[in-house]
Structure 1
Amino acid sequence: MSDGPVAPQPGAGRARQNVIYRAGVLGRTPAVPTDFAGLERLARRKTSRRGWAYIAGGAGEGATMRANREAFDRWKIVPRVLRDVSRRDLSVELFGRTLPAPVLLAPVGAAELAHPDADVAIAGAAAELGVPYIFSNQGCAPMEESAAAMGDSPRWFQLYWSSDDDLVDSLLARAKTIGADAVVVTLDTTLLGWRPQDLNLGSLPFARGEGIAQYTSDPTFVRIVRERIAAAAGARPEVEVTLGAIRTLLSMSRRYPGRLLDNLRSPEPRAAVETFLDIYSRPSLTWTEIESLRERTDLPVLLKGILHPDDARRALDAGADGIIVSNHGGRQVDGAIASLDALVGIAPAVDGRVPVLLDSGIRTGSDVFKALALGADAVTVGRPHLYGLAVGGREGARDAVANIIAEFDLTLGLSGLTSVKEITADALTRT
């Protein structure tokens, strides 16, 4: 049975409830748990140990992940009563699009660790809901394949600024070609955070060829790889032959474009992984490169990873068209400020000049409400849609986000409000 809705309509919360309760009359319960704790437990059972370490793990001792949730808990909603809330409007305007709800699907790298259909399934789920999916730069499918699964539905593209500017330009050009509405430049991963869950398993997905499909499908990247192979002609790299090494070679070869047998005989799959690991991040990235974006693309540019009001102001000076307040879901710096706490200072600094989105820690519809009350124009949802993917593929990702949107709709109405525009800080109190 499909539990799924189409794009959210007025009354999305009641409609979603009715689908589930009517199925309950027939003895059927939701395939995707409607509470985050239940969703997380089921996703963990469906995911390998290595996959769970990557998609659920955080930096260090997990303090930032906990802080993200604690920040939401400190704010309480103050409902108002005896208001006509029979009609509610969840829609928002972002970069020329009217979205049915202020929710986007965040970029998640190496999503095949949750489900083999990965990015294409997530893209299809977002298209059914009518909300944007931000294609991951560390995706498991070329952005063109994900775009094909979405039809005319909105999509954005996340950019990790490589150490090779030609590659950056190529990725930006492809994003334009696939009809991306915006580019999201992620700023907080110029170095990979200390992630014990992955480290204790010696597991980095990209080193196995997982999550590098945007690169292996890119003509500029392939040219770089072949130039490196040519420059190293005649050199014989020392390779320790172990069972693990053989498995890794198979993993690389399966994921590299072309026939598996040909890839096993070719140096390209291994060289592609080595090249990626060398150039995918840029620790020297500064505001100078960000300011050059206006010459590189005419797409709206949002900067993701802003946590300080001064950086938000500098982003506006650099020409940013939007800001995403994010601590990377607690995956980069242990003990960092919660994204919601950062939003409280950043929203007034931006003062409505560009859209401000909140990322990291969103789990429920009431979280969406609180984020908007504190100044966000929309939110991005990460782990919930990835966990839904693990539980039920495309339908699972769709239903996990549909549940959040449905709860947001009901929270809006039960708080005495009828539209996103009416949500202000007056609807909250801090404890």
Structure 2
Amino acid sequence: MTSGADRTAADAECLADFERAAAAVLPPDIRDFVAGGSGDEVTPAANRAAFDRTFLVPRVLRDVSRCTTDATLLGRPAALPLAVAPVAYHRLVSEEGELATARAAKAAGVPFAVSTLSSVPIEEITAVGGAVWFQLYWLRDGTRTLELARRAEDAGCEALMLTVDVPWMGRRLRDIRNRFTLPAEVRAANIDAGGTAHIPPAGASAVAAHTSEAFSPALTWTTVDRLRKHTRLPLVLKGVLAREDALRAAESGVDALVVSNHGGRQLDGAVPSLDALAELAPALDGRCELLLDGGVRSGTDVLRALALGAAGVLVGRPVIWGLAAAGEAGVRRVFELLAAELGSSLGLAGCADVTEARSLRTVR
């Protein structure tokens, strides 16, 4: 018998269908927590607009009878040039939370970047068996942070992704107006069992209060060097937009960068991620791998990012919408749609694979 979740997933023909379906089932404060940005939300809109103003110049008279979306990310094979972006608290939208996402990512053959603020312990997620990266926030207790990094390594994670753009959480007005607080059954399973994220604040977001209490605002290049020496895993810095920072990261031996403005959830008015990618890729000239997140909503968007120099993209909100609307089946369908759209766009652009996509010209 076909379940309601399966029907919802099967009926979706683009990622926007899942956003609408999720909006219909989520409580307004949780929907706002996922969808919202900081300040006036200029940057989330700009992320999307940057894709819409990036046009591809397709090639013709090429044999595209066999197109493949296979890719290599951080030195390992993936079925698509994408990974699940680190998003906190998947159990806000689905009882199984990150476990359902992990199973769907494994089935799709793509890595899952698990957040420090995952609502399921990292060991349970890696036990699913797919490729897992661990996103690390630098805590006020540096020793504890290094212990968390080692714990992720021991659990079988294949990379560490240090987020560098959150000295504290941006002013997310939707959460402040909603006095957003985590439900009692949802917690940051990797770092605590409760705390301020569950205490309704006076005129603020409980999640913002929790991160201000937990995260260090003193993260520096010295810290990056300390982490580099501590782990054998590939090290990725997430949240780099400036050319100067990207060049210094490459010189420091970082393996990859995620060109990211945190989905418009940190500095409102920050440059769109895609525009930053267009500047950083030629400046770095292959010295470290570039990934991108922020605003990816279709396979054609993935192709645009590849053409501008990315090895792949991270997809965040669409995965959460799929999980909210239809659980694991919804996330699987998100990946199916992205694969179908990317495969079609590759062929129509005259590219038989993602390597050829990186030679496409763009008009912006």
Which of 43, 53, 63 aligns to 2:32? It is: 53
Could you list the per-position Cα deviations for residues 136-185 of structure 1 after superposition, in whole angstroms to 9, with x for gaps in the alignment? Answer: 11100000111112x2x211000000010121111111111121111000
Distance 1:349 1:402 in 2: 34
Tell which structure's C-alpha radius of gyration is larger: 1
Which residue of the other structure, out of 69, 82, 93, is the alignment partner of 2:48? 69
Aligned 8 A contact 1:186 1:304 in 2: yes
Aligned residue for 1:44?
Answer: 23
- Per-residue deviation at 1:315? 0.9
Aligned in 2, Cα 1:145/1:193: closer, same or farther, shift over 3 Å? same
Q: Which residue is 2:237 aligned to?
A: 303
Contact 2:89 2:118 in 1 (8 A): yes
Q: Give the AA of the match of 1:189.
A: V
CA change 1:3–1:380 in 2 (3 A) is farther
Deviation of the 1:211 alpha carbon: 4.1
2:360 is paired with a residue of what secondary structure?
A: helix
Aligned to 1:216: 192
Equivalent residue number for residue 115 of structure 1: 94
Q: 2:275 is matched with which residue?
A: 341
Deviations 1:99-118 (CA, angstroms, capped at 9, x unpaired): 11101011100222211211
Alignment of 1:270-419 (within 5 A): 277=211, 279-419=213-353
Flag the 1:115–1:285 CA change in 2: closer, same or farther, 3 A: same
Question: Match for residue 153 of structure 2?
Answer: 176
Distance 1:396 1:409, change over 3 A: same
CA displacement at 1:29 relative to structure 2: 7.7
How far is the alpha carbon of 1:74 from its aligned partner? 1.0
Distance in 1 between the 2:8 and 2:190 partners? 38
CA contact (8 A) 2:239 2:260 kept: yes
1:145 is matched with 124
Distance 1:417 1:203 in 2: 46
Give the alignment of 1:245-260 within 5 angstroms: none
Letter in 2 for 1:369: L
- How far is the alpha carbon of 1:84 from its aligned partner? 1.6
Over 6 Å off, 4+ runs = none
Q: Secondary structure at the match of 2:239?
A: strand
Question: 1:190-201, aligned counterparts within 5 Å?
Answer: 190-201=167-178
Q: Which segment is superposed worse, 289-298 or 31-40? A: 31-40
CA contact (8 A) 1:3 1:399 kept: no
Q: 1:373 to 1:285 in 2, by over 3 A?
A: same
CA contact (8 A) 1:122 1:389 kept: yes
Report if aligned partners of 2:9, 2:330 keep a CA contact under 8 Å in 1.
no
Question: How many positions carry a matched residue from both structures?
Answer: 357
- Report if the CA contact (8 A) 1:164-1:279 is conserved: no
Structure 2 spans left out of the alignment, 5+ residues: 201-206
Aligned-partner Cα distance in 1 for 2:110–2:102: 10
Amino acid of the structure 2 residue aligned with 1:331 = R
Displacement, 1:30? 4.8
2: CA distance, partners of 1:277 / 1:334: 18
1: CA distance between counterparts of 2:216 and 2:271? 23
Distance 2:12 2:131 in 1: 27
1:186 aligned residue (147, 156, 163) = 163
Q: Which residue of 2 aligns with 1:100?
A: 79
Partners of 1:32 and 1:392 within 8 A in 2 = no
Query: Aligned-pair distance for 1:75?
Result: 1.0
Aligned-partner Cα distance in 1 for 2:329–2:230: 37
SS of the residue 1:184 aligns to = strand
Q: Deviation of residue 128 (structure 1)?
A: 0.6
Question: How far apart are the structure 2 equivalents of 1:89 and 1:37?
Answer: 25
TM-score by length of 2: 0.91
1:260 aligned residue? none
Q: Does the 8 Å contact 1:32/1:388 carry over to 2?
A: no
CA distance in 2, matches of 1:319, 1:210: 37
Matches of 1:373 and 1:196 in 2, distance apart? Answer: 35
SS at 1:101 equivalent: coil
TM-score normalized with structure 1 length = 0.78
| Cα distance, 1:279 vs structure 2 | 4.5
Instruction: Name the residue aligned to 1:429.
Output: 363
Report Cα offsets for 1:42-66 as digits up to 9, x if no partner: 1111111121111111111111000
RMSD: 2.7
- SS of equivalent to 1:183: strand
Please list every run of 5 or more consecutive structure 1 residues that lacks an aligned counterpart in the other structure: 5-22, 226-244, 252-272
